[in-house]
Amino acid sequence: MKRFSILIAIAVLAALPALALRAVAWQPGPIVETAIFGVAILAAGFLLSWGAEAAESHIAQGLILAAVALVTVLPEYAVDMYYAFQAGQAGPESPYVHYAAANMTGANRLLVGVAWPLLALLHWIKARHRAIELTNDNAVEISFLLLASIYAFVILVKGSITLFDFAMLVAIYGGYVWRVRNVLKSETTDEDEEPGPAAALNELPVRLQWMVMAGLGLVACAIILRSAEPFAEAMVDAGRALGINEFLLIQWLAPLASEAPAVSVAILFVLKGRASGGLVTMISDKINQWTLLVGMLPLAVSIGAGSASPLALDARQIEEFFLTASQSLFGVALLMRLRFSLLSAGALASLFAVQVGLAYYFKDDEPRLIATLTGLAWIYLALAAILFMRNRRRLLGIIRFTVRPSAASASSISRSGPA
């Protein structure tokens, strides 16, 4: 418990400079501000993740993994909602529209292109296993990620994200949470120990545990609320000061800071011999971002505008959204066999590296950039189509198990599809 108290103290101390800057209204410069407020958001994310992890011993595993995934990405939500709110206030021609889209697509693509492969690599380094094996229960996550990915193409056809999409995406996420609420914690020996600081919290009396978890959540939320706005604005100004395209800076730097706690939690799962739990946390993270984060953008825009308003997507944003949706669909296709192999991880990481390289190379030539990234999106789709065709019976088994779980539907997942 002493070590956990030290970690909490370090996290709070890391956030104090940001809170002090807000209190005195001093602006030391955009680069320094980006670093200070970014560290504060990172610290808040860790506070949230420690509290959420500790709740695992009290709540069904499927539900708590969804909760951990949701809670640990609250910093990402705060930054993106700020951009969307400002877009509503400034109007559809505002650059904040681009920033909101950039932050959302960057966060989603980093999860699939970097976090998922990283977990597979660490699992191989630690246990020399060439794949992370999932269970039949994890068919639920795969099915709902598939549903959210398919709905993304509906948004693409419309060319905007509306309040109707908000309702539909929230409904998808609600269905996911409802479906995983009764997934019980595995009783295997490897999965009895909570990773990281959560183990210290579980040594306390139950009532005190809940008080500490609530306190961590309140402190973290206060830090995020005070840091999200200046961090978001400082990134824009830092990009201009350094001569870096602010769209790319917001797309990749902001999610790196806000996603780090969630990825760290997943890494702890892997290092504690719970690789499947780590991967499921990242899949759940992807589900909530691909539903709630996307869906809440028009809500924030509408609040900022003072009336119901969509988040319109221009050519660049449509290309980014198309690429993100295609990558997501390919990621789902790789999970059809309820395992995530090093080969799958390598494919995702390699294609992600290509898209980052293209974005940097054509950063000053938007028409060429749109054309090349659109081509890459079609490659993702072609690969996904091949995998879905090869595993079509397994796909039907996964959907059948999600809709009506039973021993027969579970066995159909393992029996169907290519070996």
Structural domain contains residue 40: yes
Helix, strand or coil for residue 341?
A: strand
- Cα–Cα dist 148/316, whole Å: 21
Q: Is residue 212 part of a domain?
A: yes
**Residue 250 within a domain:** yes
Please list the alpha-helical segments (H only) found in 307-365: 315-334, 342-361
Question: In this structure, what CATH number is given to the domain that contains residue 303?
Answer: 1.20.1420.30
Contact 136, 26 (CB under 8 A): no
411 inside domain:
no
> Considering the domain boundaries, does residue 413 fall inside one?
no
Answer for the pair 295, 165: CB distance below 8 angstroms, yes or no.
Answer: yes
Domain that holds residue 162: 7-405
**Residue 95 and residue 75 in contact, taking contact as beta carbons nearer than 8 Å:** no
Determine, yes or no, domain membership for 67: yes
Which residue in this structure is represented by tokens 């091949």? 386
Give the pLDDT of residue 184.
46
Dist. CA 61–CA 181, nearest whole Å = 8
Residues in CB range of 50: below 8 A, 6 or more apart? 4, 7, 8, 196, 197, 198, 201, 216
Note the pLDDT tens digit of each residue in 325-361.
999 999 999 999 999 999 999 999 999 999 988 887 8
Distance from the Cα of residue 402 to its chain's centroid? 22
Regions in the chain scoring below 70 on pLDDT: 1-4, 52-73, 182-202, 406-419
φ/ψ (deg, to 5) at 339: -155, 150
| pLDDT of amino acid 62 | 54
Residue 212 is predicted with a pLDDT of 79
Q: Is 349 contained in some domain?
A: yes
Structure tokens at 393: 């019976």
Q: What is the pLDDT of residue 310?
A: 92
Contact 409, 401 (CB under 8 A): yes
Give domain status of residue 415, yes or no.
no
Return the CA Rg of the chain: 21
Domain tally, the chain: 1
Give CA–CA dist 64/346, Å, rounded.
29
